[in-house]
Amino acid sequence: MTSRARQTLLALAAAAALAATGCGSSAEEPAKRGKGLPQSSVDALDRRLDEVQRRYDDGVDNGNVGACEDIEGDSFQGDGGIDEIVSGLPQDVDPELRTALERSIERVRELTGDCAEQAAANPPAPVPEPEPEPVPVEPVPEETVPEETTPEKTKPEKTTPKPKPDPAPAPAPPDDDGGLEDRIVPPGQDGGVPAPAPQGRQGKAQRRQPDKGGADR
């Protein structure tokens, strides 16, 4: 905590203590003195002074300029703020107590006035950006070259050859003497056997002639 922050804390503590001691009045006090602070005003001041201390620490230590601006804009001047609490004290509050309280509050305002300047001089450390999640890479399928396969040589099945049909028998050779037709030679050609005379009545008559000659004998 900086020295200025310590001074602010002391001023806040003094203001709170002053408010607490000024709460109510003692029966032994002279009647000419006024009353002390109402308890509701004391409680409201305690809450607001604690708020000032939190915002001041946040602004100076963490570089939060917005927290410093809220001290003046809300803790002091906002609805139900410190200024409104002090100005709303009853008229019968002891004047000296009122004056002491107002001076303590003003001291707190002075000590917190440079909060924004100190916060700007001490900016917060940059928050590192989260590392992007790695994008899953789909594996590229490897090209597979089909292996060359040599077809197995299949042995041809042994087939039983069909039996060949028996050869047709050769024609029988002609008789030795041959037929008449083979020995017939056309007229005018030498060799061969002369064609036999046609058989008929004439032939039969010729074969009968020798018989007639025998009769003549």
| 45 domain-assigned | yes
Query: How much of the chain, in percent, has pLDDT values that exceed 70?
Result: 60
| 149 domain-assigned | no
| 148 domain-assigned | no
Q: How far apart are CA 12 and CA 17, in angstroms?
A: 9
| 109 touches 76 (CB < 8 A) | yes
| 152 domain-assigned | no
| 43 domain-assigned | yes
| 161 domain-assigned | no
| 89 domain-assigned | yes
Alpha-carbon separation of residue 64 from 70, 119, 215 (angstroms):
10, 6, 186
User: 50-83 pLDDT, tens per residue?
Assistant: 899 899 999 999 999 999 999 999 999 999 999 9
User: 74-123 pLDDT, tens per residue?
Assistant: 999 999 999 999 999 999 988 988 888 888 888 888 888 889 898 898 88
Q: How far apart are CA 5 and CA 62, in angstroms?
A: 13
Q: For 81, list phi and psi in degrees, rounded to 5.
A: -80, -175
Q: How far apart are CA 152 and CA 140, in angstroms?
A: 35
Indicate the number of domains in the chain. 1
Which residue range is the domain that position 69 belongs to?
Answer: 3-26+35-121
Q: How far apart are CA 35 and CA 96, in angstroms?
A: 10
| 191 domain-assigned | no
